Amino acid sequence: MKEYTTKVLCLFWVVPIVTERQWNMLGTKSPHRRCVKFNECSSHPHSSAISPVWWALLGALLMVSGLWALVTDREAWNAVWYIPAWYGYLLILDSVICKIQGHSFISGRKRELGAMLFWSAPFWFFFEFYNFFIKNWYYIFGLHTFWINSIFAFVGFASVFPACFFHAELFKALGLFSKTRSTPLKIKGWRIQFCLVFGFLCLILPLVIPRYAYWMVWGAAWFIPSIFNYYSGAPSLLRDMEEGKPSRFLQLFVGGFMAGLVWEGLNYWARCKWIYTVPWVEYAKLFEMPMLGFVGFPFLSLACFACYTMICHVLRGGRHWETPDCLQLEKKPGRLFYLVAAIALLCSFVTYMGMHRRPDYTLRPLLYEMKGLEYDDVDALRGLGYPTPELLHKAVQAEGLETIANRAAIEQERLKTAFLHATLSIPKGMGSQFAALLMEVGIKNVQALLGLHPEELHNRLVILAKDENKHAPRLSQIKVWIRAANKKGEPIR
């Protein structure tokens, strides 16, 4: 437990309770001084009267609470630690931005932050739709209650825009790239035509030849919205390049890369998470992400900017996330806004329904699903403090099978079967159903996966699943399991 806790803590920034002198180093004179938006907004009634140190501490509390639920294996809560950890991190990041430049999203752009959170989920569901075809990632250990799981999914996807924009804003506050200038680039002509043609290819080819054009999906949401922004007069990265001002482009680009590192770091230790199955680049990984895959995060950040700017220009009267609320034009949303928002939510929900029904989507394994256990056995194990398959596995490893069987008054052979099933359910989100299929073809532990041919095992599982009217795992999933197997036979993340 101690070793595991240390590994998790090493992934994150340590957030100390800073002294006034330490906090002053970030920019303002006192940790009790509120952050204002700009000079023009200092007297505005919506200026935040709360010191950013408080939402930094709230963020640290969220991260610690999520970490506690994960490390202590709190039933159900251990599967959703990613949400408090990620939003806690964003709170800390926003407080740092506020102390450096005197304003931030929470202190001066709450409306923009709310809009950002709302439109972020439909934006990401656009990529989830494409993933039905490219199959580059899948989700594991979802919650069993559909509506609760849906809420957590939408809340998680709502963080995509803030993740990219907060990091870009941090670099802007630090002055990174702010004075960078480049040779003005003529956009009109063949360059704009190339962007238009390539943008449409990025929309179409991943649907037609997904195995070879999967990487183009990240350009699908970038090129065409960028062209729209350029001609409509909205804030545009293309116009920035035309004027020789690449600072915003660079801040978003590097900010996207930083967001990707944090995303994948938090995801790696999560129970409910995503796993990548990207063709040809699956072997060299950092966390769950293939090393080459980190190149996609900067382009995701650029796509976030292009799409959200287009949404703001068309549906929100030209409001923009870089401008504080008090300087925005007061304009009520029109019918088009509500119509598009309703369509976006409907499409998002339909896409989520499809995600939830994918054969490679696994649910969090429960103790009563383990082979060999009856309901009385489950009650007995829960009474001993082992309410999850993970805790059952740890208890048997620590105290021995015979000891746990005697304490719970369970036949040793039945408990052994449940222990093997639990141990096999954990690695890479295999889940209880797929683990049961593996046990039926003679694979009793993780070690037995070593050296197996993925195609041969996949064919055996497909035949068995068809006979039992169950879903069979995808070949790419089996490859993930076999690559993750170790000689010790222990469950692997």
Instruction: Give the 3-state secondary structure of 209-255.
Output: CHHHHHHHHHHHCCHHHHHHHHHHCCCCHHHHHHCCCCHHHHHHHHH
Cα dist from 339 to 311, 312, 352, whole Å: 13, 15, 20
What's the pLDDT at 67? 85
Domain ranges of the chain: 2-107, 174-356, 367-484
Cα dist from 106 to 35, 42, 353, 368, 430, whole Å: 9, 15, 32, 44, 39
Cα(169)–Cα(428) distance, integer angstroms: 35
Contacts of 265 (CB under 8 A, 6+ apart): 11, 12, 287
What's the pLDDT at 492? 59
Tokens 């056995």 correspond to 377
Backbone angles phi and psi of 139, in degrees to 5: -110, 145
Cα dist from 125 to 96, 221, 348, 466, whole Å: 30, 12, 6, 31
What's the pLDDT at 379? 94
Cα(103)–Cα(119) distance, integer angstroms: 23
Contacts of 243 (CB under 8 A, 6+ apart): 184
* Paired tokens of 35: 């952050």
* Paired tokens of 258: 């930083």
What's the pLDDT at 490? 56
Cα(309)–Cα(318) distance, integer angstroms: 8
The answer to whether the CB of 396 falls within 8 A of the CB of 491 is no
What's the pLDDT at 155? 93
pLDDT tens across the length of the chain (493 residues):
444 444 433 433 333 333 344 444 444 443 344 454 444 444 444 445 567 788 889 999 998 988 888 887 777 777 778 888 899 999 999 999 988 988 888 887 888 899 999 999 999 999 999 999 999 999 999 888 889 889 999 999 999 999 999 999 999 999 999 888 988 988 888 889 999 999 999 999 999 999 999 999 988 899 999 999 999 989 999 999 999 999 999 999 999 999 999 999 888 888 889 999 998 887 788 888 888 889 999 999 999 999 999 999 998 877 777 776 566 556 677 788 899 999 999 999 999 999 988 888 999 999 999 999 999 999 999 999 999 998 999 999 999 999 999 999 999 999 999 999 999 998 898 999 999 999 999 998 888 888 889 999 999 999 999 998 888 999 999 999 998 886 555 555 6
On whether the pTM is more than 0.95, the answer is no
Q: Cβ-count burial of 360 within 10 angstroms (0-12 exposed, 13-18 middle, 19+ buried)?
A: buried
Cα(275)–Cα(264) distance, integer angstroms: 10
What's the pLDDT at 15? 38
Using DSSP's 3-state secondary structure scheme, residue 8 falls into: helix
The answer to whether the CB of 246 falls within 8 A of the CB of 235 is no
Cα(230)–Cα(189) distance, integer angstroms: 13
Cα(5)–Cα(215) distance, integer angstroms: 36
**Biggest alpha carbon–alpha carbon distance for the chain:** 79
What's the pLDDT at 91? 93
What's the pLDDT at 17? 34
Cα(246)–Cα(250) distance, integer angstroms: 6
Distance of CA 194 to the CA centre of its chain: 32
